[in-house]
């Protein structure tokens, strides 16, 4: 597999500097959504967790910073990112086993495994015009339908295991349709930029085989005020706790 050239990487800090990862200067870089995804995972020590679409490993490393004693595996399509995630986890002293392959046809060793929880940040946009770079295209615009991501996640889960996904709000109906009859106890957490604005993303948490009713939760409001009026960030207190302190997002 081909790795990123060291000169093409920059270092990024997450959770107030608790987590440090290298990411490509040009190409896809994980941001706040990976941190939200990790914060929403109801993981407990001793569980085995699979990160679908691992990227540089940000979500897995943020989750590990909050919950110790996890067995972490990842599945990443792009070979350079798979190598980078392993390197980032090694630098952090965390064991993250990254399998290189496609959610549509996972590697045989991964297909033989099962997990207590799955986290996933599937590409947000359906196939169409290119974005900027090949790496960003692969990360942001799907080549594999969302239903395949959901199917892959559910097949790898133990009975009663949990799935957490973050996705654009406009694709919520599609995501729920794929969970129908296979997972329940569904909790939906909308994410809105400011009070009074429509949610742009949702975090969906579900349990395989559960039958409890769906819960639509209060939204996560990312920023204070009606609009951005000052230099620097204006994250809400809740968002700051998630992004800087490694707090859990309970919903």
Calculate mean pLDDT across residues 199-206.
98
Asked whether residue 138 carries a pLDDT value surpassing 70, the answer given is no
pLDDT at 131: 47
Calculate mean pLDDT across residues 78-91.
97
As a whole number of angstroms, the distance between CA 41 and CA 74 comes to 15
Asked whether residue 141 carries a pLDDT value surpassing 80, the answer given is no
- Which of 16, 28, 26 has the alpha carbon at shortest distance from 53? 28
pLDDT at 229: 67
pLDDT at 207: 98
What is the C-alpha R_g of the chain? 17
Question: Across all residues in the chain, what is the average pLDDT?
Answer: 93
Calculate mean pLDDT across residues 78-88.
97
Asked whether residue 228 carries a pLDDT value surpassing 90, the answer given is no
Q: Which helix (H) or strand (E) holds 159?
A: strand 157-168
Burial grade of 246 (CB within 10 A; 0-12, 13-18, 19 or more): buried
- Which three-class secondary structure state does DSSP give residue 148? helix
- Tell me the domain boundaries of the chain: 6-166+173-182
Q: Which helix (H) or strand (E) holds 174?
A: helix 172-179
pLDDT at 129: 47
pLDDT digits (tens, 9 = 90+) for 93-131: 999 999 999 999 999 999 999 999 999 999 998 765 454
Quick one: DSSP state of residue 51?
A: E
Asked whether residue 187 carries a pLDDT value surpassing 90, the answer given is yes
Paired strand residues for 168? 201
Asked whether residue 137 carries a pLDDT value surpassing 70, the answer given is no
pLDDT digits (tens, 9 = 90+) for 51-67: 999 999 999 999 999 99
Pick the CATH number of 6-166+173-182 from 3.30.560.10, 3.40.50.150, 3.40.50.300, 3.20.20.80: 3.40.50.150
């Amino acid at each position: 597999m081909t790795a990123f050239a060291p000169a093409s990487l920059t270092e990024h800090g997450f959770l107030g500097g608790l987590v440090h990862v290298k990411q490509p200067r040009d190409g896809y870089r994980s941001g706040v959504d990976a941190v939200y995804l990790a914060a929403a995972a109801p993981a407990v020590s001793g569980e085995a967790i699979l990160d679908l679409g691992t990227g540089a490993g940000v979500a897995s490393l943020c989750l590990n910073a909050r919950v110790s004693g996890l067995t972490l595996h990842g599945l990443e399509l792009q070979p350079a990112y798979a190598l980078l995630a392993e390197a980032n986890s090694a630098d952090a002293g965390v064991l993250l086993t990254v399998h290189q392959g496609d959610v549509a046809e996972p590697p045989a060793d991964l297909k033989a495994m099962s997990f207590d929880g799955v986290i996933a940040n599937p590409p947000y946009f359906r196939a169409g015009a290119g974005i900027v770079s090949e790496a960003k295209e692969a990360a942001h615009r799907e080549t594999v339908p969302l239903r395949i991501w959901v199917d892959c996640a559910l097949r790898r889960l133990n009975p009663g295991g949990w799935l957490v996904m973050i996705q654009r709000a406009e694709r919520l109906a599609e995501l729920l349709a794929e969970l129908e009859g296979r997972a329940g106890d569904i909790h939906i957490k909308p994410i809105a930029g400011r009070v009074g604005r429509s949610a742009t993303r949702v975090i969906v948490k579900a349990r395989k085989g559960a039958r409890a009713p769906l819960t639509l939760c209060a939204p996560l409001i990312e920023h204070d005020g009606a609009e951005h009026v000052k230099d620097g960030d204006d994250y809400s207190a809740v968002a700051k706790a998630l992004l800087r302190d490694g707090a859990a997002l309970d919903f």
